[in-house]
Structure 1
Amino acid sequence: MAERQWSGSTLADRQSARRRALLDAGLDLLGAEGGPAVGVRAVCRRARLTERYFYENFRDRDALVAAVYDEVTERAHAALAGAVASATGDVSALVEAAVAAFVELVLDDPRVGRALLLAPLTDPALMHRGTAALPAFRALISEQLPPDADDVERRMTAIGLVGALAQLFGAALDGSLVVPRERLVRHCVQLVLRASTPDR
């Protein structure tokens, strides 16, 4: 039996569109310039939906925040992995491609950058989730480090790099670091390369 349609869209289509609108509104508020301001009513106002539709999709405010954060984390990991997979040339070219892809993601849409890097520092719903997301990024960096380094050395280097890069991007997003994008990319690339080829 064919699914009933309203104005050319099915019930599933309309439910999916409402969920998308709520997630987009959540990102607007979680990644707001003045800091996260996510509340059920505020999200519903921005999405132009009633609270009934909010609770049709999310258990509570924290569930929406977690879903938004998971989405931006997946986008960041996909951008980095895609850049690494498609890069050609030496290690320097690979690192530059990855850094440029991440900078593009978090600076071209600052909402994404702030939700990914700054919101976990202040929103209680994300404090554990932000920490849980770090191993995936550390693993991605660790894979690019010299194979002759032992596991502990690679892990320490990856942890340090992720922390340093997160601080740099966070400062660029909150305005405490004002620097041209090209210089930020160049500095981050050199940071990773120096860690990848330490003096013996």
Structure 2
Amino acid sequence: MGLDERRRVRRERLLAAGVDLIGAVDGSAASVRAVCRAAGLTERYFYESFPDRDAFVRGVYADVGKRARDALVTAVEAAPRSGRAEAAVRAFVELMVDKPAMGRVLLLAPLREATISNRGVELAPMFVSLVDEQLPGIGDPAERHMVAVGLVGALTSLFMGYLDGAVAVPREVLVRHCVRLLEQAADDGQERWSG
């Protein structure tokens, strides 16, 4: 294994440790020492990849955000048009609910970590854009955008509630409800703009 590959592997170990620590139920503080201990690496290797703790937390958040985006895009592109809402919800659930530490990093950590407090706002347009593309029946772009923003807000609140225990329903109930929200918005838009 070459030097660059070893660095990449160490960075991935640090990021994985960061997901576990930042995404812990109690929101454990991810100190440099705690991250290194969890990753089984020395601080030297931490600073090889990240200049400081804040950069590390931003890196963990960006990595989880990229995984979420990639999972959604892959699911939507692989599904037939009629099954895209369900494919997207299931992909998000598999990543964020079945691996709750990742969900807590993406959805709850911005509320607990000052260094990423605005990152959720920065990622939102990407998720809004993905939803917007699934609403072609809404002819007015401004209306379509508002519906997409509303859906992303509603889904975010549902997933946050599920992850922190405020929404206590079985996994499949959550999936079905989220799919219905997306499909109903698409159907309502189709009826409004075709009639």
Alignment TM-score, normalising by the size of structure 2: 0.92
Which amino acid in the other structure matches residue 194 of structure 1?
Q
CA shift for structure 1 position 121: 1.6
Q: Is residue 71 of structure 2 the alignment partner of residue 73 of structure 1?
A: no
Larger radius of gyration: 1
CA shift for structure 1 position 36: 4.5
Structure holding more helix per residue: 2
Give me the whole-angstrom Cα distance separating, in 2, the residues matched to 1:49 and 1:148. Answer: 52
Give me the whole-angstrom Cα distance separating, in 2, the residues matched to 1:31 and 1:41. Answer: 17
Unaligned runs of 5+ in 1: 1-8
CA shift for structure 1 position 43: 0.6
Q: Is residue 149 of structure 2 the alignment partner of residue 159 of structure 1?
A: yes
CA deviations on 1:71-120 (whole Å, 9 max, x unpaired) are 11111111111111111252xx2211111111111111111111111111
Contact 2:138 2:144 in 1 (8 A): no
Alignment of 1:120-199 (within 5 A): 120-198=110-188
Give me the whole-angstrom Cα distance separating, in 1, the residues matched to 2:128 and 2:81. Answer: 22
Contact 1:36 1:119 in 2 (8 A): no
Percent identity, aligned pairs only, is 54
Structure 1 pair 192/36, CA: closer, same or farther in 2 (3 Å)?
farther
Give me the whole-angstrom Cα distance separating, in 2, the residues matched to 1:126 and 1:36. Answer: 15
Give me the whole-angstrom Cα distance separating, in 2, the residues matched to 1:190 and 1:147. Answer: 16
Which amino acid in the other structure matches residue 176 of structure 1?
A
Pick one of 76, 79, 83 that aligns with 2:75.
Answer: 83
Which amino acid in the other structure matches residue 21 of structure 2?
L
Alignment TM-score, normalising by the size of structure 1: 0.90
Corresponding residue pairs, total: 190
Contact 1:146 1:197 in 2 (8 A): no
Give me the whole-angstrom Cα distance separating, in 2, the residues matched to 1:38 and 1:73. Answer: 18
Which amino acid in the other structure matches residue 50 of structure 1?
T
Equivalent residue for 2:91? 101
Which amino acid in the other structure matches residue 150 of structure 2?
G
CA shift for structure 1 position 125: 1.0
Unaligned runs of 5+ in 2: none
Give me the whole-angstrom Cα distance separating, in 1, the residues matched to 2:151 and 2:181. Answer: 8
3-state DSSP of counterpart to 1:125: helix
Pick one of 15, 19, 24 that aligns with 1:23.
Answer: 15
Equivalent residue for 1:6? none
Pick one of 8, 12, 28 that aligns with 2:4.
Answer: 12
Structure 1 pair 36/153, CA: closer, same or farther in 2 (3 Å)?
farther
